Amino acid sequence: MPSQEENVVWKGRSHQIVNFWPLVLSLLVMIAIMIGAFYSTAWLALLALVPFVYGGWLWLGTKLMVFEFTSERMRIYEGILNQEINEVELYRVKDTRLEKPFWLRLFGLSNIVLQTSDRSLPEVHIRAVRHGAEIREKLRKQVEILRDKKRVREVDFEGNGDDMEFEGEM
């Protein structure tokens, strides 16, 4: 059986706007510390490194988190010191939702939320991406193609087992 190579459908990362308020707060704390250091001891200025390092850590964490949709699966690369790779088979995606909060719409961004049947990653949030509707549509089409190819359908069973009803003959 010939093996097909996986093709990258979409690869991207979140916009740095997701860090806007924490970065603003870090900047304000740095300014307050510097003003305090000006009126007291200069050694206090070293304390300004703490919010600076915190803001840099947030920025770098967002920069290094990469989402990749291939023809077979979704991969999430994240981590600064140690890179962690999470994978979900695309046929396990149950539902996709596009969120466009006012704050993100100002910048032409949106969030994509994926509900999966994978127990290790039941919900995936792709925050603040450009062209979210197009990415969601590409993903939805690829999920359908993969389900048809593998002859897989997603079925949800609800209940505790005692009151479950099944249609059909027994």
In a domain, 157, yes or no: no
In a domain, 161, yes or no: no
In a domain, 146, yes or no: yes
Q: What is the pLDDT of residues 84-96, one digit of tens each?
A: 999 999 989 999 9
Rounded to two decimals, what is the model's pTM?
0.80
> Is the confidence at residue 166, as pLDDT, over 60?
no
Q: How many of the other CB atoms lie within 10 Å of CB of 104?
A: 19
One-letter amino acid for residue 99 of the chain = E
Identify the DSSP state of 6.
Answer: P
Average confidence (pLDDT) over 4-28 = 93
Question: CATH code at 20?
Answer: 2.30.29
In a domain, 156, yes or no: no
What is the C-alpha to C-alpha distance for residues 119 and 154, in angstroms, rounded to an integer?
14
Average confidence (pLDDT) over 60-68 = 96
In a domain, 85, yes or no: yes
| Per-residue pLDDT, 1 | 43
- In the three-class reduction of DSSP (H, G, I as helix; E, B as strand; rest coil), residue 17 is classed as helix
Tell me how many domains the chain contains. 1
> Is the confidence at residue 142, as pLDDT, over 70?
yes
Domain span including residue 100: 8-150
> Sorting pLDDT into bands at 50, 70 and 90, what band is 168?
very low
In a domain, 169, yes or no: no
51 or 167, which is more confident? Answer: 51
* Mean pLDDT over each residue of the chain, to the nearest integer: 88
